[in-house]
Amino acid sequence: MKNENLVPKVRFKGFSDPWEQRKLGELFNERKEKSSQGELLSVTINSGIVKFDTLDRKNNSSADKSNYRVVRYGDIAYNLMRMWQGASGLSMYNGIVSPAYTVITPRTNTDAGFMAVNFKRKSMIQVFQRNSQGLTSDTWNLKFPVLKNIRISIPKITEQQIITELFTVINNLIAANEDKLEQLKTLKKLMMQKIFSQEWRFKGFTDPWEQRKLQQIAKVFDGTHQTPEYVSNGVPFVSVENIKTLKTNKYISNNAFQNNFKIFPQKGDIFMTRIGNIGSVNIVENNKDLAYYVSLALIRPEHIRTQYLAQYISSQNGQRQLWRRTLHVAFPKKINKNEISKINIFYPDNVEQEKIGSLIIKSDHLIAANEDKLNQLKKLKKYLMQNMFV
């Protein structure tokens, strides 16, 4: 009879045998070679083993590297003091690491890629935490003599290798999408710099842009200063933390809303954070009631296109002006309604505003689609890590 506790929930077709429980000391040997020669490597929590010179980090390594540990391609290295936080990884390089790391090399019938993924699972990290020694979290460490006695469940080598291949594909897809997303964000930033500095113009548009104070082309309002009494259902109440979506699980009563607000948000208004991370914006998409705290300013465009104004405020030029008018001696930093009203807005005629707005919206949609794809890949990886292992 199968031991159901040793069978994963998700499995490749053709595999049905229960996994075996083995001690890590049966699967790995500690590599004890030392050398001062070789490329310096580092073990990170998020990216595993990387070349040190790819990190934006000061090199504090010892001049005398005679005690540094040798790492070979296919080894796993982990941080003695941070294994309980997931600081381990499979090495794709030959090199050396600080004595703060332990290097282990797989024995026959142990796939290092499979084990590297397994070591990153939440349940395994908890096991490493329970076995780490030391009086406080600052001194917890997991040396190989303790690590080797930890029991782990593994399948036969063929299934290990197939699981490794799957996670290699997923990790490569995630890395590629992260790189693409970063490039899209960089492109949008460059595009906004060039457009709002007027270095780039649409063909056929040559007229000079106008310059106005924000108060000449829009009205600016503050949210309520009063701490509200929340109710289970009513008018949604948004603040700084809701700026990206304008969605919240906090509500105030309709009476409180009517009594505390003279200006009700309407479709086409712009919310802008005025405390902390100043200058983040979002556009109100409908005329449903929405209450807002003083940490947000409500901007109502009157002689300018909403999309253009929101994008201008988010541009380098808009952010720079807000920064100069921010009260920096306060914590958190803040900017008052009158100072927001005084920032200068440069803008072309309505037709060019529409073209600029449309272009940047398309860029935002492309970025959002890639963020969604990346999140889906990460969710898939998380699901498989929870369900393809025992």
Asked if pLDDT for residue 60 goes beyond 80, the answer is no
d(C-alpha 268, C-alpha 357), whole Å? 13
Each residue's pLDDT tens digit, 248-288? 999 999 998 888 887 889 999 999 999 988 999 999 998 88
d(C-alpha 81, C-alpha 134), whole Å? 10
Each residue's pLDDT tens digit, 307-329? 999 999 999 999 999 999 998 77
pTM of this prediction? 0.83
pLDDT recorded at residue 29? 97
d(C-alpha 135, C-alpha 116), whole Å? 27
pLDDT bucket at 176, cuts 50 / 70 / 90:
very high
Tokens of 323: 């920064």
DSSP lists the bridge partners of residue 237 as: 291
* Total count of residues recorded for the chain: 390
Average pLDDT value for residue range 46-50: 90
Average pLDDT value for residue range 218-239: 89
Give residue 332's region: left, alpha or beta (phi > 0; psi -120 to 50): beta
Average pLDDT value for residue range 284-309: 93
pLDDT bucket at 1, cuts 50 / 70 / 90:
very low
Residue 196 has a CB neighbour count (10 Å cut-off) of 22
Q: Name, in order, each residue with C-beta under 8 angstroms of 93's C-beta and a sequence gap of 6 or more.
A: 39, 41, 49, 51, 71, 73
| Domains within the chain, CATH numbers bracketed | 20-154 (3.90.220.20), 157-207+348-390 (1.10.287.1120), 210-347 (3.90.220.20)
